[in-house]
Amino acid sequence: MSGRIDFTPEPENIFEEHIHEYFERSRAACPKIEAIYGKWCFEDLIPGMSDFDTRFAVSPDTTAEDWVEMSTEVGRVHTEICREYPERARLLEHLPGLNLTWAELRDPLFYYPEFHQWTAYYGVGSGIKDFDDYLGSIEWSDADELFNVKKFALYYTPYDRSIDPPINLGAYESKYPIHSRFMHYFCPPLQCAVSLMEGCMVRGKAESLRIAREIFPGSELIDMIFDAVDRHYEMEDYYVEPGLSEIENALHAYLQNVYRIIQPRITVVDASPEDGSPELKDKLSRVSTGLLARFYEGAKFCRMMMGRLMFYSEEIPHFDSSWLIGHELRRIRRLFFETTFTAFGRIAWGEELSPETVLERCKGEFLSADDYTAVKEFSDIFSEDYTDSGKKAFAVRVAQRMGAFQVVLEKLGNAARQH
């Protein structure tokens, strides 16, 4: 980037209005939705730059078929809002990610450390309070440590300029290089580091920065980030060389110092002071996790994926889904079929089997002929080729097979919990 940079001033903060409307319209379409949560804290949502990572809590009596209908209806609501409000394109990057019933949220079998990083915005009944009480009763455990060490290892690298493309940022795209480095690839591992030091899950990104300023050396870097956010990233020297490389190097050097401080506290793997990201990830890959947890690593994000694909397949002039739809298509089969069926094979028969073998064994014992066909049609479609220009049409074909597959996945999840 060279020459003078055109910065568009920070826009009005519309997150509160958006979250309320999204909840009310989704709940009107699907009354079993009872609360809306978002990752991080409200102060972490930066106007013009941040999307909103929605999570829904729903009624305990929600059925597999209800989830399929909900995916369709929330997808419709999401699409309508995106068409009506071009200025919300960035906020609406994707449908709600992780969605669970209140019973699942309070079930130790479903415990997910990220729960502690959700902020509740609106809800009906006592669900939000009851869930808060439940989370407050949970003590720090190996599961929390493992979650944070894995995430730290993922981001404990020099910044890769080929990742995290600017999407649907409109007039604010010029500011994204700094937002991406600070908020998407520095704050996440820092948040993990302060959680490991504090022995509890820290909810917010800004909160993590404030804690880090007190407990780690290098407070001037944290001050620089807060100053950049306060100025909505409007500092030209940060975007041109050598400024940009200096920032990347400073962020990575800070994390290297932080790692040396947190390393003695890591107990879930034999971490060494010399470990970098590859070494940590290799050690973590050998850590045994519960089989049910492995099953839900794949299954837990499936419930709204059909609606997400249908949304991405829409032609909305101010919403670019080209990168987003490709990202989902590349991982859906692995997450929802390969991960879940491999884990189920271990649960049901104690063997490490291919997902295709597990599917064959499930036929008749766990799955009906129709169930088997639904899974086969879903898994097999990914063997077909599609062009870049044909991604949307292919995504529709995948989505059309997801409803029946999703019902089967819910059935297998119930069977897995009974083993």
Q: Which of 120, 131, 148, 99 is nearest to 41 (CA)?
A: 120
* Domain ranges, ordered by start, for the chain: 1-138, 142-285, 288-419
Largest CA distance in the chain: 67
pTM > 0.85: yes or no: yes
Return the H-helix or E-strand segment holding 92: none
Q: What is the pLDDT of residue 367?
A: 97
How many Å apart are CA 164 and CA 180, to the nearest integer?
A: 7
Q: Which of 295, 301, 306, 400 is nearest to 68 (CA)?
A: 306
**Which stretches of the chain score pLDDT less than 70?**
1-3
For the stretch 196-221, pLDDT in tens is: 999 999 999 999 999 999 999 999 99
Q: What is the pLDDT of residue 3?
A: 58
Burial 38-77, CB ≥16 within 10 A → b, else e: bbbbeebbbebbbbbbbbbbbbeebebebbbbbbbbbbbb
Q: Are 381 and 401 in contact (CB under 8 A)?
A: yes
Q: What is the pLDDT of residue 1?
A: 43
The DSSP call for residue 367 is B
Q: Are 291 and 350 in contact (CB under 8 A)?
A: no
Q: What is the pLDDT of residue 154?
A: 97
